[in-house]
Structure 1
Amino acid sequence: MAAIPTSNASLKDALLRPGFTPTSPAATRLSDPIADTPLVLTLDDVLPYDANPRTTQNPKYDEIKESIRQRGLDAPPPVTRRPGEEKYRIRNGGNTRLSILKELYQETGDDRYYRFHCLFRPWDAARGEIIVLTGHLAENDLKGDLKFIERAIAVEKARTLYEAEAGKAVSQRELASRLSADGYPVSQSHISKMLDTIQHLLPAIPGLLYSGLGVDRISKILALRKTASACWDKHYQGEGVEFEMLFQDVLSQFEGDAEEFFFDRFQDELVGQMKKPLALGYEDVLLEITQQQRELRRSMPIVDAPSLPAPPAAAPAPDTSLPDDTAPGDAPPQQPPELPEPPARLAQQTGSQVQLPVTPPAGDQMSDEERQARIDGHVVSPANISPRVVETKRKVAAALGETLPDFNSNALIAIPVQAGSLHPISDLWYIEHDIDTPEHLREHIAQLAFEITQSVNAPGEIIPVDGGIGFSYKQPADEVDITETAHHTLTLLQSLSGATAIALKMLGEQPAPAAMDALGEFQFAAGLGQILLGQPTARDQAPDDSGRLSDGALVKLFRIVRLARRLIDLEIQEYATNTSELNG
């Protein structure tokens, strides 16, 4: 059959004839991948995470920007897409990188900043919001020094999401467990601080918190609020003044920059505002708050130390080993049955220096916050020594074959105490090599005696001397009023310095009645018990701690005794050596 010839006109009509009209709606976008997939996206395709915990600029922003400018984007940001949204969103971390890419593209117009590689991760239909939020929390906290208040608000939002997921209220302990399971471990005690910060501090000092107020000072403010509230509830008898309102008013006066906030000023102002409604003196309010804070720190749970390896064969037998606070030759003290006994560390006497072997820190089951609270409970006043000085001392001790005591580690396995001063104390027994001479020991003793007299407002003057244990006391030229505490403290210091022994020798040359009058019929014995212990319960007296030395002064007194004993030991050795040379 012959083909029918086709004209050019008919062919043209056939080519221009309209095609089939589709009946289904046109697809506006491709479906998302169902597995992790690398993509190439542009700045117009990606949005930052709208609930990002970080609300202030990353402190490493300039460093990251310079790195991207020089090297490009080394770590592609992970992205995802919520159901129903057209654009992608940063999934966890990467908001800073996205912002930097936008800046660099605006500055340079370079296409390498506009178009970049990303890793797409599918949206979890059931737990997408929680996964993204905890992912941003973990990423930001790990790489960008997330502020405490930013973490706190994000954790509060996470609790809301968890409660919606569970259909019930979520406790702090359960919240900590859920956050840990989703990749952001945080302790229950830390969560408690976060939620208390949002409730009690954020309304009064938002700028202070967002300018970088750290968890250490936040913890002190929250602890002060707790103890001050207890003091208020105990003593306030009036009406119309609520503690929470008073606390917020005082705290709001310190709104500003974190670097300009001083906790002591805030505490001073709060105590000053509390004393009038409570009808108490400033010292009374401060004393009660301070005592409650100390009890609060000491009420932290004690975690037993891990068992230590068995001592080597050359070590002394267990029944003769001495704990850290026992002098050689003394009987080992009995531990109270209700307290866990700290592991014994064997003291090795080498020449004139007591050395203690290093022991591993205890409390492996503690969180970082619980460890710090345990350490804070043993700090009377902090020793502000720079890390550089500590490292130098450690190197010097190592060169001399010694082991410098580590307060933070020892606080978790023993009961050390720290007190700041001109010569800070972190271990009552250990004496560093660089002060282990009579001259330096006398210098330290005289300074500690001076600080003790200052703590009790004692009149007169502590004078450093080359003899004795390092100091003598000079009475004021004029008669001044002196408290019994100051009087007994001076009497004790004078007895330690040797002045009492000299006076006693002079009294021995006088008639007996005069000597009895001078001794004051055991007044010193009674005063000594009062300043060291206080008044225990007696038949006709209630227990009382007024007139007692502060914990800081007591630590310094113990340190004087230790240093003075060491001074005398050195002088005995020197005297014996000189005598032997003369006789030889």
Structure 2
Amino acid sequence: MSKLQLVENSSVNSSNQARDFTLDELCVNPDNPRKSRNPLFDDLKASIRARGLNSVPLVTRDPRLPDGKWTFSDGGNTRYTIMRELWDETGDPRFFKMTCIEKPWPGRFQCLAGHLAENETHGQLTFIDKALSVSEARLLLEEERGKKISLRDLAVELTNSGLPVHFSSVSRMEDVVTNIYPWMPVLLASGFGGRELRKLLKLRHGAEKVWDKYQFEKNICTEADFTNVFGECCRKFDDPELWSIEMFTDELIGDLTDAFPCDDLDYDGWLLELRGADKVKAEPAEDITFAVSSGLPANSSTVANDDVAELSQLSDELTPGDSTLLEDDTPGVEQSTAKKQPKDLSSLVKEDESHALQGPDDYLPAVAQPEIHSLWHVSALQDDIEHLQSLAWRLSWDIASAHDCGNSLTPASENASQSGYRLSVPVDDAPLVALFLASLTDDTSYQDAANLTSELLIGSSESAKPVFDDEQTLTVFRLIRILRRLRELQRKSAASIVPANEG
């Protein structure tokens, strides 16, 4: 009889029995999805030190482990680690034993799904921990079934194993593991995720489409490979202190221009193509999370949050059971269902659907309103005159090009006193949007600035809508912030110049 059969037989005979285990009889599950420290570790440790261990984890016999060793099947690794630390620190006998419930060996895939679910109820996993574990789950399932498993089938199997998740979330995780993680392991391990990671993925997909499009249409021959060009650019920013989506985009376009010889794709050409390929959609406030549903067992069943923006694209593939919950995904904030009562599932589904069906003018109040910090913040790596001039030009061009007048502006950074852009046409011939943008830099003597601002940004109380939509208005405010900081640095620079003594 094989060791696996012995384990299965012994597990069936002792199923659902609770007894005390010494720490030496237990060990962390080899497939534990948590690779980084639990952000709630210190709080949990303090609680267990004061009150003891109140929960009763499930344990099972993994055939890979030596005889007599048990491991956790649905969470419990962090609690075991805490008990081991407390025993080593204090020698108190109450920390040397854990009451656990024996469970038949469910297989590695089921264990991994159980740990993913349980971990999310006691402390948020980083996005990359989730993604790597889901990728590993796919390999385990393929090994069990002896065939390839599609991402859609993987999502179904995870759902059936107590971890409801839509295939679009699984697809995004696979994308990150394949195309981002090999080049940015440090940044991802730091907790990088949410909007910034989505922006990075959008940028990659957009850039690859442009690369493939021009390579096919223009028959471009190059020794460079897009995957390596993008990856090497990622490698330069594999540090939480260095990351900035604006600086990354600037660096990437420079790398693409060098690697892809095409007369139509200089820096501005790439920028124009990427702007067109990456029109911003409404996004949820945070990253994918697994949140416990009131209609599911609290010990293992969770729901994965998909992008609200993707619901409209995938509506023909969604069933009522695919609808998902929105939860916060801030590391270090406990998501215990004992402290947070989730809303009724049907009402949350309706909220999600309403966000997905909103038009562009509805994004701001619903889901896309930025924090003041994100609108006002200037990265330390960009906080100099040269970078701010470049940012001002790119923002102004983006606004103007959306109104078909990008050619009315031109870069202006020949010296440190310039604002980064200026009119490229006479004032009398300039469109209103270009005039407004130029008025922010004192590049024109346009006298009707107040009416122009009202017409473009606010509209009238009667029937005239503002020219700028919500997204463009936010970009204008960002441009104003950049210009204010640029002028501030220029004033400081001018004040520090001491005229030479010519007497």
- Shorter-chain TM-score category? 0.5 to 0.7
- Report the AA paired with residue 415 of structure 1: G
CA distance in structure 2 between the aligned counterparts of 1:239 and 1:490, rounded to whole angstroms? 40
CA distance in 2, matches of 1:123, 1:408: 38
Aligned partner of 2:377 in structure 1 is none
The structure with the larger Rg is 1
Aligned position for 2:459: 561
- How many Å separate the matches in 2 of 1:452 and 1:560? 19
Alignment of 1:58-457 (within 5 A): 58-83=38-63, 85-124=67-106, 128-236=107-215, 237-257=220-240, 260-276=242-258, 277=260, 278-279=262-263, 280-294=265-279, 368-373=305-310, 411-417=355-361, 455-456=399-400
Aligned to 1:47: 27
Residue 483 (1) aligns with residue 483 (2): no
Distance 1:555 1:154, change over 3 A: farther
Distance, in Å, in 2 between the alignment partners of 1:151 and 1:270 is 27
Number of positions where the alignment pairs a residue of Structure 1 with one of Structure 2: 333
Question: C-alpha separation between the residues in 1 aligned to 2:352 and 2:195?
Answer: 16
**Preserved contact between residue 43 and residue 102 of structure 1 (Cα < 8 Å):** yes
Flag the 1:266–1:375 CA change in 2: closer, same or farther, 3 A. farther
SS at match of 1:119: strand
Q: Aligned runs of 1:456-535 on 2, under 5 Å?
A: 456=400, 482-483=424-425, 487-489=430-432
RMSD, matched Cα = 3.9
Shift of 1:166: 2.2
TM-score of the superposed pair, with normalisation by structure 1:
0.51
Q: How far 1:265 sits from its partner (Å)?
A: 1.3
| Counterpart code for 1:371 | V
Q: Which moved more, 1:85-94 or 1:101-110?
A: 85-94
Deviation of the 1:238 alpha carbon: 3.0
* 2:98 match: secondary structure: strand
> How far off is 1:190 after superposition?
1.0
| Cα distance change of structure 1 residues 288 and 165 upon mapping to structure 2, 3 Å threshold | same
CA 66–86 in structure 1, closer or farther in 2 if over 3 Å, else same = same
Following the alignment from structure 1 to structure 2, what is the Cα–Cα distance between the partners of residues 367 and 121?
26
- Residues 156-165 or 276-285, more deviating: 276-285
Deviation at 1:72, TM superposition (A): 0.5
Deviation at 1:239, TM superposition (A): 2.1
CA distance in structure 2 between the partners assigned to 1:250 and 1:210 by the alignment: 18
Q: Is the 8 A contact 2:206 2:274 kept in 1?
A: yes
CA gap of 1:292–1:58, structure 2 versus 1, over 3 A, is same
Secondary structure of the residue aligned to 2:459 is helix
Label 1:409 to 1:262 Cα distance change in 2 as closer, same or farther (>3 A).
farther
Q: Determine if contact 2:73/2:115 at 8 Å carries over to the other structure.
A: yes
The alpha-carbon deviation at position 56 of structure 1 amounts to 0.7
Per-residue CA shift, 1:180-199, capped at 9, x if unaligned?
00011111111111111111
1:559–1:105 Cα change, 3 Å: same
Q: Distance in 2 between matches of 1:118 and 1:45?
A: 11
Task: Give distance in 2, aligned partners of 1:165 and 1:425.
Answer: 46
Distance 1:284 1:453 in 2: 12
Distance 1:555 1:157, change over 3 A: farther
CA contact (8 A) 1:375 1:408 kept: no
Return the letter of the residue paired with 1:482: S
Asked if structure 2 preserves the Cα contact closer than 8 Å seen for 1:452 and 1:556, the reply is no
Relative to 1, partners in 2 of residues 1:205 and 1:42: Cα closer, same or farther, differing over 3 Å? same
The one-letter amino acid paired with 1:264 is E
Query: Quick check: 2:164–2:304 contact (8 Å CA) kept in 1?
Result: no
C-alpha contact (below 8 Å) 1:134/1:158 kept by paired residues: yes
Distance 1:43 1:452, change over 3 A: closer
Cα 1:481–1:40 shift into 2, 3 Å: closer
Task: Quote the residue 2:484 is aligned against.
Answer: none
Alignment partner, residue 385 of structure 2: none
Deviation at 1:368, TM superposition (A): 3.5
Change (3 A) 1:131 1:564: same
3-state SS, counterpart of residue 21 of structure 2: strand
Stretches of structure 2 lacking an aligned partner (at least 5 in a row):
1-8, 283-302, 314-350, 371-394, 401-405, 410-421, 438-446, 466-503
Tell me the TM-score normalized by structure 2. 0.59
Deviation string 1:274-295 (CA, Å, 9 cap, x unpaired) is: 1243332222111111211229
Within 5 Å, give how 1:573-584 maps onto structure 2.
none
Report the Cα offset of residue 221 of structure 1: 1.3
Q: 2-side partners of 1:557 and 1:373: how far apart?
A: 34
| Cα displacement (A) at 1:77 | 2.0
Q: Does the C-alpha gap of structure 1 residues 557 and 121 become closer, same or farther in structure 2, counting only changes over 3 Å?
A: farther
> Quick one: structure 1 residues 268 and 63, their matched pair in 2 at CA, closer, same or farther if it must change by over 3 Å?
same
Shift of 1:165: 2.4
